[in-house]
Chain A
Amino acid sequence: MSSAAPPKGAPPKTRRARHAKASGRGARTARPAGLWRDAWHDLRRRPLFTVSAVLIAVVLVMAAVPSLFTSVDPYDAAGCVLGDARQGPSAAHWFGTDNQGCDTYARTVYGARNSVLVGLGTTVLTALAGGLLGLVAGFRGGWLDAVLSRVTEVFFAIPSVLGALLILSIFRTGTVWTVTLALAVLAWPMTFRIMRASVITARGQDYVVAARGLGASAGRLMFRHILPNAIAPLIVVSTINLGVFIAAEAGLSFLGLGVQSPDITWGLMIADARARFHEAAGPLLFPAALLSVTVLAFIMLGDAVRDALDPKLR
Chain B
Amino acid sequence: MTGITGGTPSMLPAWGGGAVPRNEPLLAVEDLHVEFATRQGAVKAVNGVDYTLEAGETLAVLGESGSGKSVTAQAIMGILDTPPARVTRGRVLFRGTDLLGLSEENRARVRGRRIAMIFQDALSALNPVFTVGWQIGEMFRVHQGASRRDAERRAVELMDRVRIPGAARRLHDYPHQFSGGMRQRIMIAMAVALEPELLIADEPTTALDVTVQAQIMELLTEIQRESGMGMILITHDLGVVADAADKIAVMYGGRIVEHALVHDAYRAPAHPYTRGLLDSIPRIDRKGRELHAITGLPPNLLDMPPGCSFAPRCPYRQGDCAVEAPPLHRIGPTRGSACHYWREVLDGSHG
Task: Tell whether A41 is near chain B: CB-to-CB under 8 Å.
Answer: no
**Residue of A with least CB distance to B40:** A24
Binding stretch for chain B, among A14-22, A237-245, A248-256, A273-281: A14-22
B40 CB contacts on chain A under 8 angstroms: 24
Please report A residues at the B interface, Cβ cutoff 8 Å: 14, 18, 21-22, 24, 314
Task: Tell whether B300 is near chain A: CB-to-CB under 8 Å.
Answer: yes
B39 CB contacts on chain A under 8 angstroms: 314
Task: Tell whether B284 is near chain A: CB-to-CB under 8 Å.
Answer: no
A21 to B299, CA, bound (A): 11
Closest 6 CB pairs of A and B: A18-B297, A21-B300, A14-B297, A22-B300, A24-B40, A314-B39
Q: In chain B between 293 and 350, which residues have their CB closer than 8 angstroms to a CB of chain A? A: 297, 300
Please report B residues at the A interface, Cβ cutoff 8 Å: 39-40, 297, 300
> Interface on chain B toward A: helix, strand, loop, or mixed SS?
loop
A22 CB contacts on chain B under 8 angstroms: 300
Pick 6 A–B contacts, CB within 8 A, sort by A. A14-B297, A18-B297, A21-B300, A22-B300, A24-B40, A314-B39
Interface centre among B39, B40, B297, B300 (most CB of A within 10 A): B297
A21 to B300, CA, bound (A): 9
**Residue of A with least CB distance to B296:** A14
**Residue of B with least CB distance to A14:** B297
Closest beta carbon of chain A to B253's beta carbon, Å: 15
**Residue of B with least CB distance to A23:** B40
A24 CB contacts on chain B under 8 angstroms: 40
Closest beta carbon of chain B to A91's beta carbon, Å: 52
**Residue of A with least CB distance to B301:** A22
A314 to B40, CA, bound (A): 11
Closest beta carbon of chain B to A37's beta carbon, Å: 18
B300 CB contacts on chain A under 8 angstroms: 21-22
A274 to B297, CA, bound (A): 71
A14 CB contacts on chain B under 8 angstroms: 297
A22 to B300, CA, bound (A): 8
A22 to B297, CA, bound (A): 12
A14 to B39, CA, bound (A): 24
Closest beta carbon of chain B to A310's beta carbon, Å: 15
**Residue of A with least CB distance to B297:** A18
A21 CB contacts on chain B under 8 angstroms: 300
A22 to B39, CA, bound (A): 12
A21 to B39, CA, bound (A): 15
A314 to B300, CA, bound (A): 20
A22 to B40, CA, bound (A): 9
**Residue of A with least CB distance to B302:** A22
A18 to B297, CA, bound (A): 8
**Residue of A with least CB distance to B298:** A18
**Residue of B with least CB distance to A24:** B40
**Residue of B with least CB distance to A314:** B39
A22 to B299, CA, bound (A): 11
**Residue of B with least CB distance to A21:** B300
**Residue of B with least CB distance to A22:** B300
Closest beta carbon of chain B to A312's beta carbon, Å: 14
A314 to B39, CA, bound (A): 9
A18 CB contacts on chain B under 8 angstroms: 297
B297 CB contacts on chain A under 8 angstroms: 14, 18
A6 to B190, CA, bound (A): 48
A69 to B297, CA, bound (A): 63
**Residue of A with least CB distance to B39:** A314
Closest beta carbon of chain A to B39's beta carbon, Å: 8
A91 to B297, CA, bound (A): 72
Closest beta carbon of chain B to A12's beta carbon, Å: 13
A273 to B300, CA, bound (A): 66
A3 to B39, CA, bound (A): 30
A14 to B298, CA, bound (A): 12
A121 to B336, CA, bound (A): 74
A14 to B293, CA, bound (A): 14
A14 to B40, CA, bound (A): 22
**Residue of B with least CB distance to A15:** B297
A21 to B303, CA, bound (A): 12
A14 to B300, CA, bound (A): 14
Interface centre among A14, A22, A24, A314 (most CB of B within 10 A): A22
A22 to B303, CA, bound (A): 10
A18 to B300, CA, bound (A): 10
A21 to B40, CA, bound (A): 12
Closest beta carbon of chain B to A14's beta carbon, Å: 7
A18 to B40, CA, bound (A): 15
Closest beta carbon of chain B to A261's beta carbon, Å: 55
Closest beta carbon of chain A to B332's beta carbon, Å: 37
Closest beta carbon of chain A to B90's beta carbon, Å: 26
A22 to B66, CA, bound (A): 13
Closest beta carbon of chain B to A25's beta carbon, Å: 11
Closest beta carbon of chain A to B267's beta carbon, Å: 32
Closest beta carbon of chain B to A46's beta carbon, Å: 15
A284 to B120, CA, bound (A): 62
Closest beta carbon of chain A to B103's beta carbon, Å: 34
A14 to B295, CA, bound (A): 11
A296 to B320, CA, bound (A): 62
A240 to B300, CA, bound (A): 41
A24 to B300, CA, bound (A): 13
Closest beta carbon of chain B to A226's beta carbon, Å: 31
Closest beta carbon of chain B to A313's beta carbon, Å: 11
A24 to B303, CA, bound (A): 14
A13 to B300, CA, bound (A): 18
Closest beta carbon of chain A to B301's beta carbon, Å: 10
Closest beta carbon of chain A to B176's beta carbon, Å: 25
